[in-house]
Amino acid sequence: MEHQAFDPYHKWLGIKPEEQPPHHYRLLGISTFEADDDVIDSAAERHMTFLQTCSTGEHIEDSQRLLNEVAAARVCLLNPKKKAAYDRKLRQQLEQPQSDDIQTEAAPEIDIQSAGPIRRRTQGSLIGIVGISVVGLLTLAGIYQFFIAGGDADLGQAANGNTNSTVDNGENPVPPIIDPPHEELLEKWKPLSTKPANIELPQSGVRAFGSSRRLASMYPGTRYFLSVNTDGEARLINLENGHVARTFKSSGGKIGHAAISKDGQKVATASKSGIEVWDVAADKKIGDLKSSGKIESQHVAFSSDGNSIISGDSDFTIRVWDIEKQAVSAVLAGHGRPIRAVALSPDGKRAISVSSGDTKFWNLSTERPDQSGTPRNTHAVAYSSDGRFVVTGGEDEIIRLWETEGPRLRGQWAGHDSPIKSLRFSFDDKTVLSGDDSGVVLLWDVLTGSELTAFEEIEEPITDLDFINGTLALAATPTQVMAFALKASDSPTRPDPVARTDETSSGKVRYLRTLKPIEVVTGHEEWNVDNVIKLKGKPSKNGIWLHPNKTVDDHEVGSIEFDISEIPANLRLFTGAVALNDTARGDSYPITFQVIGDGKPLWNSKPLSVVGSEQGFSLDLSTVKKLRLETSSKTRFNAHSVWIEPRFVSQGTQNLLADFDSLEQTEGKWSQFGGEIISPSDGGLLTLPVHVPELYRIRMKAKQVAGNATFGVGIVVGDGNRTLVALNGWQGTVSGLHQLNGKEGKDNITAAPGKGIFHSDDESTIVITVLRKQVKVYFDDVKVIDWEGEANDFSWPSNHPWIPGRKLALTTVDGSQYRISSMELETIFDTDQVTEPITPVTPVTPPAALPELVMTDTVKARGDALNKYGGTAESERAVEAGLKWLADHQRANGSWSINYRLAGVCDGTCTQTGDFKTAHSAATGMALLAFLGAGHTHKEGDYQATVQRGINYLLDVATRVAAGIDMRGLVDRAGMYSQGISTYALCEAYRLTNDPLLKSTCQGAIDFIIKAQHPSNGGWRYKPLEVGDISVTAWQLMALNSARTGRLRVRPNIFKGVESFLNSVQIDLGARYKYSADDKRKMYRSATGIGLHLRILLGAKQDNEGLRRGVDYILEEGWHPTHAYANYYATMLMFQYGGNAWDQWNAEMRSKLVATQSTSGHAKGSWSARGEYAPQGGRLYETCLSLYMLETYYRHKRTYEN
């Protein structure tokens, strides 16, 4: 009997042969065109979990193939754009069974064209497809933008001299002909570093350039330039193909000069008849600017916003024109000779004009020059993008750099041998291009005034220059346009020519080696010897050699001591690494390293004995004045001990991509473009020179622009063990940590199928946290990797060069290309994880904080507070009734639910369940806070059993993760709301009872909140590390404040981060607040109550002007009849503020709540939800907030009375 082949589809997934190969939905076992992401994700997770159990025995390859298919299906269907495209193709296939198989297009990572073995698409074909797609899209986009009304035929007409290339019928305005700089330019011309490459231009029908030397005005930052011909036409020409995109014919004959606005929307031509202004997109004239008499405009330039034009006219006068009004707005007189060039500052407040006689710097508000005179015979001027600086050049062959404020001469650069005719600042203002009459083009460093590059001579006068991007520049002559390739180092970040900064003075880093030591004990070499300190072949430029050379007891010791009192407070994080130098002859006796501050040991290394071994350190030296480094060994022989890059850095984040020149291109040619780092298309390895501490976090943003292969981040774990965080690995199917126990990322326990996958349309955020024995990776807020184990289990991939020291690296694979827009390093202080002695971290205490709750055993104190602050017996009865309703609606498992009917006691008699039906931890936290606010704990009061059951439920929900304790339960829309509210409740319970069983969970939950704070915004939102909103932030701060007053550990600077967030959302000088920094809804009422209450928590004084006016604003708005959340925060605010404001507010609050409480039936004691937010929280949410308000009298002490 013939043996039947094993069919994994059928045996494992129940997919019959006639259904193979299955489409994605059939593969996952869900309805075709299923739209619910949760259903898709859950199905994929179930399949992958099952298939992983099949990955043993003879069918291991079948299991892996199906895992890849499921991962590909998951990635496709959870990406809205990919899913839409896939569904369109699937519908076509289902309607027309003979159509092409869609699997290849929808999931190009895997080719499933037959029921046989699954074959991967080769990299070559994949790259080809991507390359064609990108070029095609860009080309089509350009054709659409420029010729939407006429198609390709219009391009042909324009090229043959037809000026009606676009018809403006007033119905469908043509979009502006702006498109961004494209990398095809680099591929098309491939110029040498200093040799220009000519751009071929059309010769039939039109000649691209005329004989005039004032011809080309480059189209800023794009692929087009403006050419002026002797026949009275200005033409916009496509640099890629030489085609004429627009033609602007002057009514005044010969055009003397032309310009194009910065945004590319307008063109101005100057002739004998005046200035004519053209709308580029509509291809029509929109303005005639004419002076009285026979005045001819000889030079024109646009303002930065494109709404004004400055002209240098034949009567030696400068005029500023309002284009919309077609009138002169300013007349600047004073030149006695013809105007050669004019320019407006970007802010429109200043101007510069030059003639053969002098140069004038104009103040447009006074229409008078701030300065005039030398230099004479100037031809070219250019403003920097921020208007702070201007460069001039002319007949004397000198380039002058001016600071416009004053103005003041800041530099003179000599290098040309002919009159300078054109100048241009780069986009970041760091460099300047200059061109002269003999065809020489030079590139200058603005910071130093030094000549960076002299390009090969063109042998024709330079008429204009422009930067296309950070790597390409253009030069125009009367007959041609030439492209120049710039070095990557020519266009880094913006400099300040007035006050030069470097790493040391900029406040980012200070190397210990730059200080003068008080005492040095070392042998064999000088402590600061150059070219000797090396680790695995790579030098440490700022290292310290410390060879033991003094006998102390039975050891040999080397030491060096510094006075670090001059190190500023913001640079008190001391970090670096220790190692055995390459010069050691074989392994040595064990050497230990020690950091000593003011005579006290702060850190000890493990004994190092192997050449090239290393260990990192990171210490807070905020209070240290004398710093001493020591090395110790049994013998002086071969004890080549070195300190690698010991330095002081800010305790904030460090920008790793700020200085592109410092990055080591170990493999392939990486480039910089518009502030982003771009990987080579044929794969590469980029080494980042920073030495990471022991505990650190990397935050970065990256985007896949071509291919679908691995993007790797090389990291250091433990004492120097390397691994690779491989994202988008194995053709975009799996992510993992590489070389764990000798296995690749896809084959070890960190493998995450379908996670950490890039989508070509989106930039992704990557967060990598490295502790001694832990690595966790989040990709777009989704946890991809969570590893815990021994660092020695990692080894650097053998197919990559060794990276010395504790350096980070980026790596890509041949066939893919990525852009990295940001990469930051943050040092982590975590005393729970650090075993070596370090300077202890002292919690930061805000100057004022919310006081403690009053405990139930002080009944008299509670009654006194009730009477003192305006409570009544009636309001207390309402509280008791509300607590009883809550107790009656507790579920059997101890929780509460927004869908309170789950308690099983309502039988349909209570109405208004809320939408957040799975946010059980948030609902439980809210209910517990109501009991705790009235003094009922699990140790005291009438509801001990009720509170205990609720606490037990939260303890069961608590999940220990690498970040701490996750209290969110089933993570839905509530997210960090659940974390903050449930943590707040547990911390209050702990603070009131000092129950040791709660402490560990409370601390872990607080740690999770701290690590979820957005690093720069300072707030919290629904997901960890998300830019904050004021509502979610409030619950986190109240939890943190409760933890602090309960003597739990709260991290440094957490409160400063919240203050920074509040600053970002305040308006009206702190009297009102927005929901978030980018909120446009003007919903200030509830946000203002929250913001002002948080300000009080953070120590705002009672006489603060913003606080006072904010209280007046809330009082003027009054009680909101349907917005309990706004009323709750307003009540807390007014109670803390006190005085007449509280009396006025309390009277209305108390009466409204007592009057609206349900008094009969099963809903007795609760409050019905009203308003637009009622469907979300329902009756339970409304009842909890109402109870909080009625408990205000004794729930908290008043800050301003204490």
What pLDDT sits at residue 773? 86
| DSSP-assigned beta bridge partners for residue 786 | 776
Nearest in space to 644 (alpha carbons), one of 582, 721, 584, 563: 582
Kindly report, residue by residue over 743-763, the tens digit of the pLDDT.
Answer: 888 889 999 888 888 876 678
What pLDDT sits at residue 137? 20
Q: Is residue 531 part of a domain?
A: yes
For residue 1143, pLDDT over 80 is answered with yes
pLDDT band at 46 (very low <50, low <70, confident <90, very high): confident
Residue 451 vs residues 413, 494, 659: alpha-carbon distances, Å: 8, 17, 20
Kindly report, residue by residue over 1116-1127, the tens digit of the pLDDT.
Answer: 989 998 889 999
Query: What φ, ψ does residue 661 adopt, rounded to 5°?
Result: -60, -30
Residue 1163 tokens, joined: 């809903």
Percent of the chain residues past pLDDT 90, beyond the cut = 19
Least confident of 135-139, 352-356, 936-940, 1013-1017: 135-139
Region 384-405: what's the mean pLDDT?
85
For residue 837, pLDDT over 50 is answered with no
Region 18-22: what's the mean pLDDT?
89
CA distance 942 to 948: 12
| DSSP-assigned beta bridge partners for residue 727 | 711
What pLDDT sits at residue 96? 63
For residue 133, pLDDT over 50 is answered with no
CA distance 716 to 651: 20
What pLDDT sits at residue 682? 82
Where residue 415 sits, what CATH number does that domain have? 2.130.10.10
Which residues fall within 8 angstroms of residue 1174, CB to CB, at 6 or more apart? 912, 1122, 1182
Between residues 497 and 444, the one the model is more confident about: 444
Q: Is residue 262 part of a domain?
A: no
Between residues 489 and 511, the one the model is more confident about: 511
| 908 shares its domain with 1056 | yes
Between residues 205 and 1090, the one the model is more confident about: 1090
Residues found in the chain: 1202
pLDDT band at 847 (very low <50, low <70, confident <90, very high): very low
What pLDDT sits at residue 543? 86
Which residues fall within 8 angstroms of residue 1037, CB to CB, at 6 or more apart? 1055, 1058, 1094, 1097
For residue 858, pLDDT over 70 is answered with no
Q: Is residue 1004 part of a domain?
A: yes
DSSP secondary structure, 181-228, as one string: --THHHHHH---SSS-EEPP---SS--S--S-SS--EE-TTSSEEEEE
CA distance 77 to 41: 9
| 462 shares its domain with 519 | no
| 521 shares its domain with 416 | no
Kindly report, residue by residue over 267-323, the tens digit of the pLDDT.
Answer: 888 887 788 998 887 788 998 888 766 677 778 888 877 888 988 887 888 889 898
Kindly report, residue by residue over 944-960, the tens digit of the pLDDT.
Answer: 999 999 999 898 888 87
| 96 shares its domain with 66 | yes
What pLDDT sits at residue 1166? 92
DSSP state of 1029: B
| 562 shares its domain with 427 | no
What pLDDT sits at residue 979? 94
For residue 363, pLDDT over 90 is answered with no
Region 543-560: what's the mean pLDDT?
84
DSSP state of 166: S
Residue 395's domain comprises 374-487
| 760 shares its domain with 823 | yes
What pLDDT sits at residue 916? 61
pLDDT band at 338 (very low <50, low <70, confident <90, very high): confident
| 731 shares its domain with 582 | no
Between residues 700 and 129, the one the model is more confident about: 700
For residue 1156, pLDDT over 90 is answered with yes
Pairing of strands 626-633, 664-667: unpaired
What pLDDT sits at residue 1094? 93
Considering just the CA atoms, what is the radius of gyration of the chain in Å?
35
Q: Is residue 320 part of a domain?
A: no
For residue 909, pLDDT over 70 is answered with no
pLDDT band at 1199 (very low <50, low <70, confident <90, very high): confident
Residue 560 tokens, joined: 């060096």
Kindly report, residue by residue over 257-267, the tens digit of the pLDDT.
Answer: 888 887 778 88
Q: Residue 599 is inside which H or E element, if any?
A: none
Q: Residue 1139 is inside which H or E element, if any?
A: helix 1139-1156
Least confident of 504-513, 595-604, 723-732, 890-899: 504-513
Please identify, among 783, 810, 827, the residue that sits at the C-terminal boundary of a domain: 827
What pLDDT sits at residue 830? 42
What pLDDT sits at residue 693? 79
Q: Is residue 354 part of a domain?
A: no
Sole residue written with tokens 């290098």? 415
Between residues 953 and 459, the one the model is more confident about: 953
pLDDT band at 233 (very low <50, low <70, confident <90, very high): confident
Helix axes 1174-1190, 1124-1137, angle to 10 degrees: 20
Q: Residue 629 is inside which H or E element, if any?
A: strand 626-633
Pick left, alpha or beta for residue 642 (phi over 0 → left; psi -120 to 50 → alpha; otherwise beta).
beta
Nearest in space to 1114 (alpha carbons), one of 1101, 1098, 1127: 1127
Pure H helices in 847-943 = 859-869, 873-888, 920-933
CA distance 1066 to 817: 41
What pLDDT sits at residue 864? 81
SS3 67: helix
DSSP strand E in 835-990: where? 959-961, 964-966
pTM above 0.75, yes or no: no
Kindly report, residue by residue over 81-119, the tens digit of the pLDDT.
Answer: 778 888 888 888 887 644 333 333 333 332 222 222 222
| 1039 shares its domain with 949 | yes
Pick left, alpha or beta for residue 255 (phi over 0 → left; psi -120 to 50 → alpha; otherwise beta).
beta
Region 188-203: what's the mean pLDDT?
37
What pLDDT sits at residue 202? 33
Dihedral through CA 826, CA 736, CA 104, CA 123, nearest 10? 80
Dihedral through CA 606, CA 607, CA 609, CA 611, nearest 10? 30
| DSSP-assigned beta bridge partners for residue 287 | 277
Question: Mean pLDDT: which of 238-247, 673-682, 1061-1070, 1077-1086 is highest?
Answer: 1061-1070
What pLDDT sits at residue 841? 26
Residue 263 tokens, joined: 């945004």
Q: Is residue 63 part of a domain?
A: yes
Which residues fall within 8 angstroms of residue 485, CB to CB, at 6 or more apart? 186, 191, 192, 193, 471, 472
Please identify, among 587, 609, 641, the residue that sits at the C-terminal boundary of a domain: 641
| 769 shares its domain with 902 | no
| 790 shares its domain with 703 | yes
Kindly report, residue by residue over 992-1012, the tens digit of the pLDDT.
Answer: 998 888 988 999 999 999 989
What pLDDT sits at residue 471? 64
For residue 423, pLDDT over 60 is answered with yes
Q: What angle do CA 727, 830, 739 make, to 5 degrees?
A: 30
SS3 82: helix
Pairing of strands 538-539, 534-535: antiparallel
What pLDDT sits at residue 274? 85
Q: What angle do CA 308, 313, 317 make, to 5 degrees?
A: 90
SS3 632: strand
Pick left, alpha or beta for residue 232 (phi over 0 → left; psi -120 to 50 → alpha; otherwise beta).
left
What pLDDT sits at residue 164? 32
Where residue 808 sits, what CATH number does that domain have? 2.60.120.200
SS3 85: helix
Q: Residue 1192 is inside which H or E element, if any?
A: helix 1192-1195
Q: What is the amino acid identity at position 261?
A: S
Q: Is residue 144 part of a domain?
A: no
Where residue 910 sits, what CATH number does that domain have? 1.50.10
Q: Residue 157 is inside which H or E element, if any?
A: helix 151-159
Report the first-to-last Cα separation within the chain, whole angstroms.
Answer: 92
Please identify, among 641, 670, 687, the residue that sits at the C-terminal boundary of a domain: 641
| 814 shares its domain with 675 | yes
Count of domains observed in the chain: 5
Average pLDDT of every residue of the chain: 76
pLDDT band at 881 (very low <50, low <70, confident <90, very high): very high
| 864 shares its domain with 990 | yes
Which residues fall within 8 angstroms of residue 60, CB to CB, at 6 or more apart? none
Nearest in space to 954 (alpha carbons), one of 1025, 902, 890, 906: 890
Residue 1124 vs residues 112, 778, 850: alpha-carbon distances, Å: 56, 36, 22
What pLDDT sits at residue 744? 86
For residue 1130, pLDDT over 90 is answered with yes
Q: Is residue 879 part of a domain?
A: yes
415, with CB counted inside 10 A (0-12, 13-18, 19+), is: middle
CA distance 831 to 378: 65
SS3 77: helix
Nearest in space to 854 (alpha carbons), one of 988, 1041, 996: 988
Q: What is the amino acid identity at position 1037?
A: L
Kindly report, residue by residue over 766-814, the tens digit of the pLDDT.
Answer: 989 888 888 999 888 778 898 988 888 888 766 667 676 678 899 988 8
Query: What φ, ψ does residue 934 adopt, rounded to 5°?
Result: -95, 5
Q: Residue 633 is inside which H or E element, if any?
A: strand 626-633
